[in-house]
Chain A
Amino acid sequence: MKSLSRRLFTASALAFGLSLSASAQAADIELRFYYPVAVGGPITKIIDEYAAGFEKENPGIKIKPVYAGDYVQTIGKALTAVKGGDAPELAILLAADITSLVDEDAVVPVDDVIKTPADKAWVEGFYPAFMENAKLKGKTYAIPFQRSTPVLYWNKDMFKAAGLDPDKGPKDWNEMRDFAKKLTKKDASGAVTQWGIEIPSDGNSLWLFTGLTTGNGVRINNAEGTKVNFADPKVVEALQYWYDLSKVDGAQPAGLINWGTTPRDFIEGRTAMMWHTTGNLTNVKNNAKFPFGIGFLPGKTQFGAPTGGGNFYFFKGMSAEKQAAALAFVKYMTTPERAADWSTKTGYVATQPAAYETPAMKAYAADFPAAIIARDQLKYAVPEMTVHENQRVTKLANDAIQAVMTGAKPADAALKDAQSEAERVLKDFN
């Protein structure tokens, strides 16, 4: 009997002690943050390092980074978590997902989260080009983190061999077409051994297409995200130009050009020029055995490029305490130093002018001037298409582009069909 009561005492003492430590743990705020990986390299490791660094500076807050796949899978997970009542606190999602997130009532405006004038200054410190589709109905919903734009890459050796100035990329559509024709090489049997240009057309072809349309001086959607403009003659002209590069000029491969294999095509010397994300810089730099140039995407009447990539979003349903912790983490992740670090390690564009002033970035840019091109292109950049029911409408555009590039439909018919379908989808929002 005596031993039993002693055992009971020890047990309860232990339990009490455990509960004390448990409640001490309970005081720790835990923030789950979903992130996608869209570029190569040890991204998960870098993210984990950042999180650990933050935890060290902020005891009492625990960050749980959740790698969630690519952008599509990540928004999928985030929204299903929201619908299941189990939303994370933060997520890095496509800038273009803003309408879906707001429509599903999943996120809170950044304006509601920030408190001090210093915070406000921080929000205003990002490039306007990136903030353009971080806003909806006058409210800011997102903070830029991993943003990119496509750029033109060219093989300098091939330029020289074709009699072109290796240091000057084409500056408009005419030059791009002419250069591409000059750079296309055929062998004795007439088969092409070297293509002039490759603009990938599979997958999310709308992104690169926005470069062509912006370069023709036309916008694909309105700022409110309620209307699209697929059948505009200038949009049709842009698609026709793209298709003609293969069909008429013979300078681009026929059929769909695969986004994933284009960088390898370029590195292997199968194409002299390519349009691809700036996120590929490090990859090309490490693997290309020839000097290469980076330039703005040539447009018809002006330069133009889409922005892409992901922003931080704050999810609804957080306590004031968690929200403050989340804000601290996002601020930590987007200091100029960290933005510069992230940019140099991944190839994404640094999100603030201040990042380009940091010593680390200056040294990197001095060593590798191509890194600055994407930044300079920002003044011609527009957000990628951001409308309600974004995934659906994007697919309509992609299908139209793919139909044209595979020769299944002419450009005007395909875009007209896409436009009427899109109007049907967006009916409820007008």
Chain B
Amino acid sequence: MKTLRMLGRGVEQGAAWLLGLLWLLPLVFAVWTAFHSPAYMAHFSFTAPLTLENFKNAWQAAPFARYFLNTTLLVVGILIAQFTLCTLAAFAFARLPFVGSRLLFALVLIQLMVAPDILLLENYRAIKMLGLMDTLPGIALPYLASAFGIFLLRQTFLTIPKDLEEAARIEGCGPFGTLWRVYVPIARPIYVAYGLVSVSWHWNNFLWPLIITNSVETRPLTVGLAVFASSDQGIDWSVITAATLMTSAPLLIGFLLFQRQFVQSFVRAGIR
């Protein structure tokens, strides 16, 4: 019985590892190709010489420094705005009685289904009308009021016992004060979890920024990467993998360092 169990465990171990290796394959290939010259792209020999030439070519092909700045500003800006807007709205839905609260919340939930990218055409027109074409706010605006964020935070706020408010109320805090002193600190894991999801999503968003941006001053990394994706000369995997590694590095390193916190925050957020 015990041997069977050990065998079962061995099989499970093997399967898990196989899956892991399979899943990592594209990244492994990217690392291989980025550090070797194009000649070794399809030939995986151990004696192939390493080179940093691809990274140099990638860096020079487009102003990546600026793209990094744009993407960072964009992602951070979106995050701060989302935290603010969603916190306020979630608190209002959870704790403040106002007419039409339930109807409004149902309307908010619609955005869970209908993401801004589905409404490409109309949102494009809206941004144009607002005069925000080719600006970072133009990219960010449709995503700031995140139904997902409001939903998560409202759920969390609902679980916070009301008597905790008492202490704040005694000190004479109004709704804003209570929100800031009591609710926000308790919901910290949710903020971390949601923040991580938001950052990785917006760091990698492609289609919408492609439509909205025109100039180097606003273009994010993904659109900058597209300059390699459409070449008459054919796909140069060495350069495109180098560029990919460059642009994903912050997220990859971030995840490697913070993976435990990442998972833990999801656990504590009670996202089920």
Direct contact of A and B (CB under 8 A): yes
Chain A interface (Cβ < 8 Å from any Cβ of B): 34, 37-45, 64, 66-70, 73, 77, 80, 84, 86, 148, 259-264, 267-268, 276-277, 279-280, 282-283, 287, 289, 347
User: Which of A45, A77, A84, A263 is within 8 Å of B234, CB to CB?
Assistant: A263
> Whose C-beta in chain B lies nearest to the C-beta of A348?
B232
Residues B39 and A287 in contact, CB atoms below 8 Å apart: yes
> Whose C-beta in chain A lies nearest to the C-beta of B131?
A86
Give complex CA distance A38, B216 in Å.
17
Q: Answer whether residue B14 sits at the interface, using C-beta atoms and an 8 A cutoff.
A: no
Q: Answer whether residue B173 sits at the interface, using C-beta atoms and an 8 A cutoff.
A: no
Residues B214 and A66 in contact, CB atoms below 8 Å apart: yes
Residues A67 and B227 in contact, CB atoms below 8 Å apart: yes
Near A by CB (< 8 A), chain B positions 226-246 give 226-228, 230-237, 239
Known interface pairs A67-B227, A69-B210, A69-B226. Does A42 touch B233 (Cβ–Cβ under 8 Å)? no
Q: Which residues of chain A come closer than 8 Å to B215, judged between CB atoms?
A: 64, 66
Residues B41 and A264 in contact, CB atoms below 8 Å apart: yes
17 contacts between A and B (CB under 8 A): A37-B227, A37-B231, A40-B231, A40-B239, A42-B61, A44-B63, A64-B215, A68-B214, A69-B226, A260-B234, A260-B235, A262-B234, A264-B41, A279-B233, A280-B234, A287-B38, A287-B39
Q: Which residues of chain A come closer than 8 Å to B214, judged between CB atoms?
A: 34, 66, 68, 77
| Chain A: minimal CB distance from B218 (Å) | 11
Residues B124 and A80 in contact, CB atoms below 8 Å apart: yes
> Whose C-beta in chain B lies nearest to the C-beta of A69?
B226
| Chain B: minimal CB distance from A276 (Å) | 8
Give complex CA distance A326, B60 in Å.
28
Near A by CB (< 8 A), chain B positions 41-62 give 41-42, 60-62
Query: 1/0 per residue B30-43: CB within 8 Å of A?
Result: 00000000110110
Q: Answer whether residue B169 sits at the interface, using C-beta atoms and an 8 A cutoff.
A: no
Q: Which residues of chain B come closer than 8 Å to A148, judged between CB atoms?
A: 232
Q: Answer whether residue B128 sits at the interface, using C-beta atoms and an 8 A cutoff.
A: yes
Give complex CA distance A274, B226 in Å.
26
Q: Which residues of chain B come closer than 8 Å to A261, judged between CB atoms?
A: 234-235
User: Which of A39, A267, A287 is within 8 Å of B231, CB to CB?
Assistant: A39
Give complex CA distance A263, B223 in Å.
24
Residues A45 and B60 in contact, CB atoms below 8 Å apart: yes
Residues A38 and B42 in contact, CB atoms below 8 Å apart: no
Known interface pairs A68-B214, A289-B39. Does A39 touch B232 (Cβ–Cβ under 8 Å)? yes
Residues B62 and A38 in contact, CB atoms below 8 Å apart: no
> Whose C-beta in chain A lies nearest to the C-beta of B62?
A44
Q: Which residues of chain A come closer than 8 Å to B235, judged between CB atoms?
A: 260-261, 264
- With a 10 A CB-CB cut-off, give which of A263, A282, A347 has the most chain B CB atoms: A263
Residues A70 and B230 in contact, CB atoms below 8 Å apart: yes
Known interface pairs A86-B133, A287-B38. Does A280 touch B232 (Cβ–Cβ under 8 Å)? yes
Chain B: number of interface residues, binned into ranges = 20 to 34
Give complex CA distance A45, B216 in Å.
12
Residues A38 and B128 in contact, CB atoms below 8 Å apart: no
Q: Which residues of chain A come closer than 8 Å to B41, judged between CB atoms?
A: 264
| Chain A: minimal CB distance from B219 (Å) | 8
| Chain A: minimal CB distance from B250 (Å) | 23
Give complex CA distance A395, B85 in Å.
44
Give complex CA distance A259, B235 in Å.
9
Near A by CB (< 8 A), chain B positions 115-169 give 124, 128, 133
Give complex CA distance A280, B234 in Å.
8
**In the A-B complex, the 6 residue pairs with the closest CB atoms:** A263-B234, A70-B230, A260-B235, A283-B233, A40-B233, A279-B232
Near A by CB (< 8 A), chain B positions 168-212 give 210
Q: Which residues of chain A come closer than 8 Å to B133, judged between CB atoms?
A: 84, 86
Residues A268 and B60 in contact, CB atoms below 8 Å apart: no
Q: Which residues of chain B come closer than 8 Å to A67, judged between CB atoms?
A: 62, 216, 227
| Chain B: minimal CB distance from A253 (Å) | 16
Known contacts A40-B233, A42-B60, A44-B61, then 8 further A-B pairs from the complex at CB < 8 Å, ordered by chain A residue: A37-B231, A43-B61, A68-B214, A69-B227, A70-B226, A80-B124, A264-B42, A264-B235
> Whose C-beta in chain B lies nearest to the C-beta of A85?
B128
Q: Which residues of chain B come closer than 8 Å to A259, judged between CB atoms?
A: 234
Give complex CA distance A283, B235 in Å.
11
| Chain B: minimal CB distance from A68 (Å) | 7
Give complex CA distance A57, B228 in Å.
32
Query: 1/0 per residue B235-263: CB within 8 Å of A?
Result: 11101000000000000000000000000
Q: Which residues of chain B come closer than 8 Å to A34, judged between CB atoms?
A: 214
Give complex CA distance A34, B134 in Å.
13
| Chain A: minimal CB distance from B173 (Å) | 40
Residues A38 and B234 in contact, CB atoms below 8 Å apart: no
Q: Which residues of chain A come closer than 8 Å to B227, judged between CB atoms?
A: 37, 43-44, 67, 69
Residues B236 and A40 in contact, CB atoms below 8 Å apart: yes
Give complex CA distance A37, B219 in Å.
15
Residues A38 and B38 in contact, CB atoms below 8 Å apart: no
> Whose C-beta in chain B lies nearest to the C-beta of A264?
B234
| Chain A: minimal CB distance from B224 (Å) | 9
Give complex CA distance A155, B266 in Å.
57
Give complex CA distance A263, B25 in Å.
24
Q: Which residues of chain A come closer than 8 Å to B42, judged between CB atoms?
A: 264, 268
- With a 10 A CB-CB cut-off, give which of B62, B216, B231 has the most chain A CB atoms: B231
Give complex CA distance A117, B226 in Å.
42
| Chain B: minimal CB distance from A63 (Å) | 13
Give complex CA distance A279, B232 in Å.
7
> Whose C-beta in chain A lies nearest to the C-beta of B227?
A37
| Chain B: minimal CB distance from A162 (Å) | 23
Give complex CA distance A70, B233 in Å.
13
Give complex CA distance A84, B210 in Å.
17
Give complex CA distance A251, B194 in Å.
55
> Whose C-beta in chain A lies nearest to the C-beta of B238?
A287
Q: Which residues of chain B come closer than 8 Å to A70, judged between CB atoms?
A: 226, 230
Q: Which residues of chain A come closer than 8 Å to B38, judged between CB atoms?
A: 267, 287
- With a 10 A CB-CB cut-off, give which of A67, A277, A282 has the most chain B CB atoms: A67
> Whose C-beta in chain B lies nearest to the C-beta of A287?
B38
Q: Which residues of chain A come closer than 8 Å to B60, judged between CB atoms?
A: 42, 45
Give complex CA distance A279, B230 in Å.
13
Give complex CA distance A264, B232 in Å.
12
Residues A73 and B231 in contact, CB atoms below 8 Å apart: no
| Chain A: minimal CB distance from B122 (Å) | 13
| Chain A: minimal CB distance from B180 (Å) | 38
Residues B233 and A39 in contact, CB atoms below 8 Å apart: yes
Residues B231 and A260 in contact, CB atoms below 8 Å apart: yes
